[in-house]
A and B are shown apart, each in its own frame.
Chain A
């Protein structure tokens, strides 16, 4: 467990500078805590790799006297990554039986950039199988325990990363967000969770769920740390055609100056405060908005009328892309092959034996997606969904003429008990209604802790800005964070 005094990158770097702490000590303590933990947040601890990186960080620190923050903004910082991102030579399972033994032959871009910046990767975190789920109950290797409320889910699909950060097993962690998989667990666990704009972070090395929606983003204990991680891993990658060539903004430097709230128009979408949203969530988010108004921001009531269709559109688009993305898991080049797989008359049966390794939620989505793309249904489902997707995006384009940022809840509820929604897929899907629109439109969205419900379960407020205005999301989120902790 990380020392309570050293929860952020700045605190740790200051401690390194003052020789109160060393990267090797920090890594050793962190790894020991991970091994002792009962949260099931990690699928793998990266002992050798982390210790090697920490030793290198010690050397760099010794050579420079102080942390060279310009060249190594993450020197000696323990990070975790969701187990759907590849690191050469390190098992990557996607929490699936299918990839139980998969050791990838290459490293993803985001992780590579973070390691170059001095980060020490301490472990790979648990998730819903192939990132499909909202509670982390769909992991083939068991569910993740909520960091502070035993018996509750940490949210999903990046539940392991959210728990790891909250429980102090790392300073920041990477998650992936296809329909809310970073923001929702961040809200449930009470940490900062940022889904960058689509195209801001390279997806090269992220095992795809839905290619037009997936985005890698950080969990952290502070908005500033999230900004630091984004600044390091963001920007164009020649290996990902869908990573934007637009240069990244100076996310961290931007935060040094206080936000002038009087220049900010804050949109409040009425569709984000509908009946299905818990009273406690509404109350906490409203209070935060009131505080923002008091700071001088202009509050604008806005409407995103196509929000009610977001879940439908999402479930067609996401599962369609997933059905195709997951076709490569055929047991030919990688993956687990049942012992009798070679004894088949027809190659189709070989595939079926191999693909029996998928868990129930994954199978359910592949079936739905295969259906939505199949001949005779494509126009009514996939194409129509993409048309409605355009309407949802148009809604945002329109309201962003009247406001600079949107505030609203992240999830309709706080963390729920394990098993509560597991048997009802639709109920689970509807839980994503407030996070999905960002993914459909490619917008940046962040969950910032803003309060607690009557049981003490954390609540997050969602900050949304136009595409590639991740700087605005961070700036506004940072100001809210400061206001809330005062």
Chain B
């Protein structure tokens, strides 16, 4: 994928909806009960004079929003600005009730932080530090619903609190951008400031993409891909955009600074062409809010209450459970995944002393099949039916050689969808493997008797044929043989014992 002649420069702006009860500037709910998005309540059922921008209505800041922004800043190693200021960003759009968005501009609450990422490239594990330029607080806009002859404006989401996390242009590949986005996701969900529901747009990002010839120090013109709300799409969108820009330059064209959108169905980015002239947001300090003061005491209090960070959790998994740094990183990339992991271990070892092998087994399933399903279906763990009790049962059965690893994957797939009990699935799908030595020996004897030529060749030194015998014997048992036992028996029989 990577082109050796070009260097890619990527910066991400992540919008993260804060998990507060109320909106940032009024008392309307910011979250509906039972994980329903407030945006999906009846149109405008979740609005008041403030969030609909009625003439004369005024914003009052939700303290919790500042609390959460500080928490996020500390978790991402930022400096907290003690005197930070809200500004108005002026533009017209029907989902923007006041004709301006209250955001932060030159004096944001958090600055100069970093996030450490880890990812695999070419089979190697790579570690890198990505700079955070700033984190600021702002209000979300409403939603426009597009019909044929008209559009409808729903302001339920207007004024819902967001933090925008702006990275330095430190990333050099789509994999890095994906790893960074996952790392930030892991942090904001672990510290409880974000529900992390990506399908509802709780966590979405804009990617600034540019390319420059290898060795150049001058960044190319960047395009901004707006509103990508999945890890997979962000990587795909960046890969597409990089190739587009390289091809464009190589054919003598020029990259224009513009906003583009990702079309996941077509697998392409496309320009958001607008007749509008370039935006001039006319930022100025919001005169309806006085500057926010954050003192040392407040910062210290938030620091005290900060839950275990993904990086700390990861270090613990490595030192206490003996997981590899990479595996630990995957598990801690989302608070839900880490909790699932720990809950599963708790079932398997209620005394809290899970063995390294048990931890590794649970980790392999979560980082493997479970992650694959999450990616494939673009779902969060809590949106599936699988629970820690399922995975604990699967690991138990696998350790006891009752099911094979293929069987384990099948069970994960079923519980993911249905949540039914594991033993029922094993029964129905016939996943119990044959671990009966007598039955296996009988099958192997039959194969050896039927293939005298191959037996002679093997005994003459053609070791590779071992696989042939194992395969045949496996076929004979309908694929249900315990593979480790089977191999052991084949070897022994061929050796003439």
Direct contact, A vs B (beta carbon within 8 Å): yes
Cβ of B55 and Cβ of A327 under 8 Å apart?
no
**Chain B residue at smallest Cβ distance from A371:** B282
Cβ of B58 and Cβ of A204 under 8 Å apart?
yes
Interface digits, A380-422 against B, CB 8 Å rule (1 contact, 0 not)?
A: 0010000000000000000000000000000000000000000
Q: How far is the CA of A94 from the CA of B55 in the complex (A)?
A: 10
Considering residues B48, B57, B100, B276, which has the most beta carbons from chain A within 10 angstroms of its beta carbon?
Answer: B57
Where chain B touches its partner, the secondary structure class is loop
Contact of A212 with B by CB under 8 A: yes
The stretch of A117-125, A238-246, A268-276 in contact with B is: A238-246
When distances are taken between beta carbons in the complex, the residues of chain B under 8 Å from A472 are none
Cβ of B284 and Cβ of A239 under 8 Å apart?
no
**CB-contact partner of A351 in B60, B92, B153, under 8 A:** B92
Contact of A262 with B by CB under 8 A: no
Interface digits, B284-303 against A, CB 8 Å rule (1 contact, 0 not)?
A: 10011110000000000000
Considering residues B49, B53, B282, which has the most beta carbons from chain A within 10 angstroms of its beta carbon?
Answer: B282
Interface digits, B365-409 against A, CB 8 Å rule (1 contact, 0 not)?
A: 000000000000000000000000000000000000000000000
Q: How far is the CA of A204 from the CA of B54 in the complex (A)?
A: 11
- Shortest beta-carbon distance from A346 to chain B in Å: 6
**CB-contact partner of B55 in A238, A239, A328, under 8 A:** A328
Considering residues A99, A204, A382, which has the most beta carbons from chain B within 10 angstroms of its beta carbon?
Answer: A204
**CB-contact partner of A105 in B49, B92, B98, under 8 A:** B49
Contact of B56 with A by CB under 8 A: yes
Contact of B477 with A by CB under 8 A: no
Cβ of A347 and Cβ of B282 under 8 Å apart?
no
**Chain A residue at smallest Cβ distance from B86:** A241
When distances are taken between beta carbons in the complex, the residues of chain A under 8 Å from B55 are 86, 92, 94, 99, 102, 104, 207-208, 328-329, 334
Cβ of A324 and Cβ of B58 under 8 Å apart?
no
Cβ of A321 and Cβ of B275 under 8 Å apart?
no
Q: A239-B60, A327-B100, A382-B284 are in contact. Are A334 and B90 (CB under 8 A)?
A: no
Contact of B280 with A by CB under 8 A: yes
Contact of B97 with A by CB under 8 A: yes
Q: A327-B92, A348-B275, A351-B92 are in contact. Are A204 and B284 (CB under 8 A)?
A: no
When distances are taken between beta carbons in the complex, the residues of chain B under 8 Å from A374 are 280, 282
Considering residues B94, B99, B289, which has the most beta carbons from chain A within 10 angstroms of its beta carbon?
Answer: B99
Where chain A touches its partner, the secondary structure class is loop
Cβ of A333 and Cβ of B288 under 8 Å apart?
no
Cβ of A211 and Cβ of B287 under 8 Å apart?
yes
- Taking residues whose C-beta sits less than 8 angstroms from the other chain, chain B's interface range is 20 to 34
Q: How far is the CA of A366 from the CA of B439 in the complex (A)?
A: 90
Cβ of A203 and Cβ of B97 under 8 Å apart?
no
When distances are taken between beta carbons in the complex, the residues of chain A under 8 Å from B282 are 323-324, 370, 373-375, 378
Q: How far is the CA of A332 from the CA of B152 in the complex (A)?
A: 10
Cβ of B54 and Cβ of A104 under 8 Å apart?
yes
When distances are taken between beta carbons in the complex, the residues of chain A under 8 Å from B155 are 333
Contact of A342 with B by CB under 8 A: yes
Cβ of A240 and Cβ of B58 under 8 Å apart?
yes
Interface digits, A146-177 against B, CB 8 Å rule (1 contact, 0 not)?
A: 00000000000000000000000000000000
Contact of A24 with B by CB under 8 A: no
When distances are taken between beta carbons in the complex, the residues of chain B under 8 Å from A94 are 55
- Shortest beta-carbon distance from B95 to chain A in Å: 9
Contact of B52 with A by CB under 8 A: yes
Cβ of A204 and Cβ of B92 under 8 Å apart?
no
- Shortest beta-carbon distance from A84 to chain B in Å: 8
Interface digits, A435-450 against B, CB 8 Å rule (1 contact, 0 not)?
A: 0000000000000000
When distances are taken between beta carbons in the complex, the residues of chain B under 8 Å from A329 are 55
Cβ of A328 and Cβ of B98 under 8 Å apart?
yes
**Chain B residue at smallest Cβ distance from A375:** B280
Q: A208-B56, A330-B92 are in contact. Are A241 and B289 (CB under 8 A)?
A: yes
Count of A-B residue pairs with CB < 8 Å: 111
Contact of B43 with A by CB under 8 A: no
Contact of B468 with A by CB under 8 A: no
Contact of A206 with B by CB under 8 A: yes
Cβ of A334 and Cβ of B54 under 8 Å apart?
yes
When distances are taken between beta carbons in the complex, the residues of chain B under 8 Å from A207 are 55-56
Cβ of A241 and Cβ of B284 under 8 Å apart?
no
Q: How far is the CA of A323 from the CA of B284 in the complex (A)?
A: 11
Contact of A85 with B by CB under 8 A: yes
When distances are taken between beta carbons in the complex, the residues of chain B under 8 Å from A204 are 56-58
When distances are taken between beta carbons in the complex, the residues of chain B under 8 Å from A106 are 48-49, 54, 57
Q: How far is the CA of A323 from the CA of B90 in the complex (A)?
A: 9
When distances are taken between beta carbons in the complex, the residues of chain B under 8 Å from A348 are 92, 275-276
Q: How far is the CA of A104 from the CA of B56 in the complex (A)?
A: 10
Cβ of B90 and Cβ of A373 under 8 Å apart?
yes
**Chain B residue at smallest Cβ distance from A348:** B276
Q: How far is the CA of A296 from the CA of B21 in the complex (A)?
A: 60
Contact of B45 with A by CB under 8 A: no
Cβ of B59 and Cβ of A241 under 8 Å apart?
yes
Cβ of B88 and Cβ of A324 under 8 Å apart?
yes
**Chain B residue at smallest Cβ distance from A326:** B99
Contact of A205 with B by CB under 8 A: yes
Report A217-251 residues with CB < 8 Å from chain B CB.
238-242
**CB-contact partner of A241 in B49, B61, B88, B100, under 8 A:** B61
**Chain B residue at smallest Cβ distance from A98:** B55
Contact of A320 with B by CB under 8 A: yes
Q: A324-B284, A375-B280, A382-B284 are in contact. Are A241 and B53 (CB under 8 A)?
A: no
Cβ of A333 and Cβ of B56 under 8 Å apart?
no
Interface digits, A337-372 against B, CB 8 Å rule (1 contact, 0 not)?
A: 000001000111001000000000000000000100
Interface digits, A446-458 against B, CB 8 Å rule (1 contact, 0 not)?
A: 0000000000000
**Chain B residue at smallest Cβ distance from A369:** B282
Q: How far is the CA of A373 from the CA of B285 in the complex (A)?
A: 11
Report B34-77 residues with CB < 8 Å from chain A CB.
48-49, 52-61
When distances are taken between beta carbons in the complex, the residues of chain A under 8 Å from B94 are 330, 332, 347
**Chain B residue at smallest Cβ distance from A214:** B287
**Chain B residue at smallest Cβ distance from A212:** B287
Contact of A108 with B by CB under 8 A: yes
- Shortest beta-carbon distance from A352 to chain B in Å: 10
When distances are taken between beta carbons in the complex, the residues of chain B under 8 Å from A328 are 53, 55, 97-99
- Shortest beta-carbon distance from A443 to chain B in Å: 17
- Shortest beta-carbon distance from B324 to chain A in Å: 51
Q: How far is the CA of A235 from the CA of B370 in the complex (A)?
A: 58
> What are 19 A-B contacts defined by CB distance under 8 Å?
A104-B56, A203-B56, A204-B56, A207-B56, A241-B290, A242-B58, A242-B288, A324-B90, A324-B284, A327-B90, A327-B100, A328-B55, A328-B98, A328-B99, A329-B55, A330-B94, A330-B99, A347-B92, A373-B282
Extra pairs beyond A99-B55, A241-B289 (13, CB < 8 Å): A94-B55, A104-B55, A205-B57, A208-B288, A240-B58, A327-B99, A327-B100, A328-B98, A330-B99, A333-B52, A333-B153, A342-B150, A348-B92
Nearest 10 Cβ contacts at the A-B interface: A327-B99, A211-B287, A373-B282, A212-B287, A207-B55, A205-B56, A328-B53, A106-B49, A207-B56, A328-B98
